[in-house]
Amino acid sequence: QVLSHNLYTVLCIPHDPVALEEHFRDDDDGPVSSQGYMPYLNKYILDKVQEGAFVKENFDELCWTLTAKKNYKPDRNGNSVISHQDAFKLWCLFNFLSEDKYPLVMVPDEVEYLLKKICTAMNVELNSCELDDYLSQESQGQGGLTVWQFLDMVNSGRFLRGIEQEAVSMAVEEVYQEIIEDVLKQAGYLWKKGQLRRNWSERWFMLKPSVLSYYMSEERKEKKGSITLDKHCCVELLPDRDGKRCMFCVKTSSRTYEMSASDTRQRQEWTLAIQTAIRLQAEGKKSLHKDLKQKRREQREQREQRKAAKEEETQRLKQLQEEKERKLQELELLKEAQRQAEILLQEEEQRRRQQHEEMQRTLEIQLQEAEQARASMQAEMVLKEAEAERQRKRILELEDMQERLQEALQQEVKARQDEEAVRYAQARLLAEEEEKLKQLMKLKEEQEEYIIKTQREKQVLKQEMENKNKCLEEAQKQLEEVRVNRQRVDQDVMAAQKKLRQASTNVKHWNVQMNRLMHPIGPGDKRMNVSGGGFAGYQPLLSQRDSSLK
């Protein structure tokens, strides 16, 4: 109830104690936790707050009172660098510069920014290296400092050694006015020309983004007036007159305010500050430092994005390097496998070449044997022709007719036997030729399979296949020669048969002649008696001849 009453008061909201009783009516036995109080706070207090209807400094003081007693622990011996009021102002600065998420932390960049502002106000230099070491130790794991860690760090005097508390207070006050109260130009005295009496009066001026206020003195107890700034206002320099120097004026839509600075530098600072305030109004920005804070946050996000992108790129490059090394290893394995395959292929090729050479030598031996058989057959045919010639000579001799006839019969029988032998040899040659043809066809099929396989494996063997084709053509030529030889043998057989027929004809002719010679010719006989006694002696010989011929 006390907390809600104070919140109602500082936020300028009408008190509603009944709502508190109704909200906690079902659970009023024990203490209220933060989770239990938040729904009531959001619904009945924060949702009713109106922007600009309350004094934010009073609300900040209430929050500081609620939290500082439990969490803020200054030096008990009175050796703190900052006073309790300065701690409150630093607490406000921390809340302004902290990240917009709970629990509130101030990132190291903002801590350094705030300390630099304070040190700049005191004209001292901040030890950035020592600050970085401290932040790296304290903010590890949470992304920044909490407000109580920040106050402990400032109170420790680690970064403000040898500086009096009064100087620190003035610096904190200056930074507090600049950031929290949006004072664009630190307050100072200027001469202002009155509107009615047109006299010059010295006033204490304070510039904020939307208003330029002036007071009787620097205590700011009596406010004499204010100049509302908007995008239509402007600042102009004026020439010296009326005994005043370093003059300038601020023109609004309703009035022109003439002022005089103590020197040119001060006039330049005031004119630049007022122009900055007018620019902020033209851009629709209510606070300079809120805009700067947002820009710093965007810059941090961009740095984080670039850092993340760089880390991602580094990781990607590392993965690419690993992938490259892995592929190189795979390539080495593939090369080794290819070398092994080439060795196996060479061995297989050498084995096939040896088999082919052996088959070729075997074929050549068989062809030589066939050639030798053909030559022996021709020699036999020559001998047979010589024998037939001798038989013809013997037949021509009339004195040795019986012997010639017997020889003729023997020659006829032998011719029959030779014919049978020639036919048997011819059949054997045909069988051999057929067998060789089968072997040649098989060799050709194997060669075609080998050609197809070797074409798939490698085209480098093309030359060798052409050599094999040449060998095949030579084998075909040899086969053709065998066929021609067989045709010649057939022709020789036909010639032998023809000679045999001629020999039979000659035998018949000589038989007739012999019959005529053996028949005695009597006087007055005109016909030859075939069945005469003179021919009877040759009758068994003729019968023997006929049986031999059959």
Candidates 194, 234, 193, 185; CA nearest to 212 is: 185
Whether residues 170 and 115 share a domain: the answer is: yes
CB-CB neighbours of 16 under 10 Å: 14
Rg (CA), the chain: 68
Q: What is the DSSP pairing of strand 247-251 with strand 256-260?
A: antiparallel
Whether residues 78 and 32 share a domain: the answer is: no
- Number of folded domains in the chain? 2
Q: Which of 33-42, 100-109, 223-232, 526-535 has the lowest mean pLDDT?
A: 526-535
pLDDT of residue 27: 66
Whether residues 142 and 67 share a domain: the answer is: yes
Residue 356 has pLDDT above 50, yes or no: yes
Q: Is the dihedral of CA 500, 505, 508, 514 positive or negative?
A: negative
DSSP string covering 122-172: TT----HHHHHHHHHHHSTTTSSB-HHHHHHHHHTTSSSTT--HHHHHHHH
Residue 336 has pLDDT above 80, yes or no: yes
Q: For 478-495, what is each residue's pLDDT tens digit?
A: 888 888 888 888 888 888
Q: Which of 189-193, 330-334, 374-378, 524-528 has the lowest mean pLDDT?
A: 524-528
CA 387 centroid distance within chain: 94
Whether residues 177 and 151 share a domain: the answer is: yes
Between 160 and 445, the higher pLDDT residue: 445
Q: For 379-395, what is each residue's pLDDT tens digit?
A: 989 998 888 888 788 77
Q: Which range of residues forms the domain containing residue 64?
A: 56-182
Q: Which of 237-246, 299-308, 442-451, 525-534 has the lowest mean pLDDT?
A: 525-534
Two tokens at 143? Answer: 């992304």
The CA distance from 235 to 249, in Å, is 6
Over residues 460-470, the mean pLDDT reads 78
Q: For 119-134, what is each residue's pLDDT tens digit?
A: 887 877 777 777 777 7
Residue 278 lies in a domain: no
Report whether 289 contacts 178 (CB < 8 A). yes
Residue 542 has pLDDT above 60, yes or no: no
Whether residues 32 and 98 share a domain: the answer is: no
152, 167, 182 - which closes a domain: 182
Amino acid at 195: Q
Residue 219 lies in a domain: no
Largest CA distance in the chain: 209
The pTM of this model reads 0.49
Residue 526 lies in a domain: no
Residue 529 has pLDDT above 70, yes or no: no
Amino acid at 143: G
Over residues 102-120, the mean pLDDT reads 80
Over residues 202-211, the mean pLDDT reads 84
Over residues 417-443, the mean pLDDT reads 86
Candidates 136, 89, 96; CA nearest to 113 is: 96
Residue 55 has pLDDT above 50, yes or no: yes
Report whether 138 contacts 149 (CB < 8 A). yes
Two tokens at 159? Answer: 């970064």
Residue 35 lies in a domain: yes
pLDDT of residue 168: 80
Report whether 229 contacts 218 (CB < 8 A). no
Residue 537 lies in a domain: no
Q: For 283-292, what is each residue's pLDDT tens digit?
A: 777 666 777 7
182, 198, 219 - which closes a domain: 182
Report whether 412 contacts 549 (CB < 8 A). yes
Put the strands of the sheet holding 247-251 in their side by side order. Answer: 223-228, 211-215, 200-207, 185-193, 256-260, 247-251, 234-238
Residue 476 lies in a domain: no
State the chain's mean pLDDT as an integer: 80
Whether residues 64 and 47 share a domain: the answer is: no
Between 57 and 527, the higher pLDDT residue: 57
